[in-house]
Chains A and B, each alone.
Chain A
Amino acid sequence: MTMTSLARRGLVPGLALLVAVLAIASLAAGPVRLAPSDIVAALLGRGDDAIRTIVTEIRLPRAILAVAIGGILGLSGAAMQGLLRNPLAAPSLFGAPQSAAFAAVATISLGLNDALSWGLPVAAIAGAFLSVFVLVAVAGRNASLLLLILSGLAISSLAGAGTALAMNLAPNPFAALEIAFWLLGSLEDRSMRHVALALPFIIPAALILYMQRGAFRALSLGEEAAESLGVGVSRLRLVVITGVALGVGAAVSVAGTIAFIGLVAPHLMRPLVGYDPARLLVPSALTGAALLLAADIAVRIIPATTNIKVGVLTATIGVPFFLWLIVRERRSLAGGVA
């Protein structure tokens, strides 16, 4: 008992340390390998000019975005799982990033937005909101696994079809290439401009979701019991959808679709927090940040003729993981455990 509570107390600081180490590694990794001392000097505004430019203008925005986006994806996954009381719930399975990408692509194709305007995250957030809202509305109050997965599949297919249509109608190959960018999530060549575009949405989203932690715990007993404990369940549903849409929409608008972090991160952390959906939130966010940082470092290290996109890497790891989860759930369902 004391051992586990000790381990629990050390969990968040430990994960924070891991994120910090990976963030520094992310500043060091790339075509020009840098020593930690160079990085510290560059961050403090000292040292070689070229190194300073590499660190602060090329690698720092990338590391910040990896932390923010990985963090909000992990947090959104944990929040959705808490709301729907289902370990298979995650924004990416429900078509939220795909819908956000479609909304972004549509506004660009229609000439309503360019890639660095405020309209872009707003459109992406609206797309994500709509998809999660439709999903929760379709799946309803006592969302079963099957209903969630099927409606999520329908929504992401629809968003995918919309994006494909936009590509199909693209006036030239360059436009098609730009659209493809949203499908292959990446943190390459991002600037502080992108950071400034995303953080004003991601930070409030994180706060909104974090503030619902007590309600998620009460929801462990089902909606009726939660309501009787003073949780406004329909209000909670709307708040969580809004938080997830803000976070995922903003993430997609600067980095494209990066899938499965929201599914994997909470799953890794759940046994370590005693399956408590409230205590799950912060460790999931930190794990999401660590996972995306690590993936983004990996794509720079893996030898390949062209750069592998980080979204492709997370999907290649995430999909088998998802399959494994389904197999596990199938066993537990067959075993009759509710």
Chain B
Amino acid sequence: MSEVAHLLVADGVGVAYGGCPVVTDAGFRLDAGRLVALVGPNGAGKTTLLRALGGLAPSTGRITVAGTDLAQLPPRERARRIAFLPQGHVVHWPLSARDVVALGRYPHGLADPSRMGERDAAIVDAALARTDASAFAGRQVTTLSGGERARVMLARVLAVEAPILLADEPTAALDPRHQIGIMAALREEARRGALVIAVTHDLGLAARMADEVMVIDRGRIVARGEPRAVLTPQLMRDVYGVDALVTEHAGEPVIVPWTAP
């Protein structure tokens, strides 16, 4: 191939659950160094599309990662290239925050976090520092507040050091300070060269932080592009069924859903 391959390419991607199409004909090319906000109403297929991109849901069509067919990648290899942060920040056992973050090194062959090598340990510490979670690295995650736990879980996916990072509603159920903090950390990750795709319902934050917004409605991508160009009052009416206040403050876009007609 003479042309440089895009980092993540979806071509006619569809996902159906029990014969019922959830995502239809999704297609795009995305490059490294971008923060993409995937937005849309509840049930539009955001999570399903994200799962398909992560190789976690069976899909039709074609997804390639740096030119390699996603379906051809062995699980470990796929896990090294695509880090995935699921919804809800679940941890079933009261592990220490540091052990949770060390799981990010599992795809790289780290079997036991108590016997971490210097390189893995440095990566884990750096990930904890980038999400401002170093202070409670030794605590059990079950004793942390929702915001602290979200930071630990984000550090876990950062520790994978994957070129692609998929995050499913990373800011859900967080206070405003943590919402901004998490999105800022994701944007920082994009600045460091990763492709970050984050599902979110916070359109204001998406408009301010993301390089690109991708809008999905009833399983189809209906709009894509620079946030100000995409998130217009017309789109808010068409997709979300709300009248929204779309304005600017200090040179940055502000979107406030106002009334549901």
Residues of A near any B CB (own CB < 8 A) = 1, 5, 8, 85, 213-214, 217-222, 224-225, 227-232, 274-279, 337-338
Contacts and interface: CB of A to CB of B under 8 A. Distances in A.
B111 A232 contact: no
A221 B94 CA distance: 11
Given A213-B111, A225-B86, A275-B140, A219 B92 contact: yes
A271 to B, nearest CB: 9
Contacts of B113: 217
A84 to B, nearest CB: 9
A232 B90 CA distance: 19
Contacts of B122: none
Contacts of B112: 214, 278-279
B207 to A, nearest CB: 28
A26 to B, nearest CB: 32
Given A5-B114, A214-B106, A217-B103, A228 B93 contact: no
A230 B106 CA distance: 8
Contact of A232 (B75, B82, B85, B95): B75
Interface of B: 51, 54, 56, 75-80, 82-86, 88, 90-96, 99-100, 103-104, 106-107, 111-114, 138, 140, 142, 156, 160
A222 B100 CA distance: 12
Nearest to B102: A217
B78 A85 contact: no
A8 B106 contact: no
The SS class assigned to the B binding surface is mixed
Given A221-B156, A228-B54, A274-B95, 7 more contacts: A85-B92, A220-B95, A225-B85, A225-B86, A227-B75, A230-B106, A274-B96
B189 to A, nearest CB: 16
A232 B75 CA distance: 7
Contacts of B75: 227, 230-232
A274 B84 contact: no
B94 A275 contact: yes
Contacts of B99: 217, 274, 276
A5 B79 CA distance: 30
16 contacts: A1-B138, A217-B106, A217-B113, A218-B103, A219-B92, A220-B92, A220-B100, A221-B86, A222-B88, A222-B92, A228-B54, A230-B80, A274-B95, A275-B140, A276-B99, A277-B93
A225 B156 CA distance: 10
B106 A222 contact: no
Contacts of A277: 93
Contacts of B100: 220-221
A12 to B, nearest CB: 12
A224 B93 CA distance: 16
The SS class assigned to the A binding surface is loop
A276 B86 contact: no
A228 B56 CA distance: 7
Contact of B86 (A222, A231, A275): A222
Contacts of B83: 228
B84 A225 contact: yes
A231 B56 CA distance: 11
Contacts of B51: 224
Contacts of B96: 274
B241 to A, nearest CB: 30
B134 to A, nearest CB: 15
B165 to A, nearest CB: 11
A8 B113 CA distance: 13
Contacts of B94: 275
A218 B84 contact: no
A19 to B, nearest CB: 22
Contact of A224 (B79, B82, B84): B84
A280 B225 CA distance: 49
Given A8-B114, A213-B111, A229-B79, A276 B95 contact: yes
Given A8-B114, A85-B93, A220-B93, A228 B82 contact: yes
Contact of A230 (B76, B86, B88, B92): B76
A227 B111 CA distance: 16
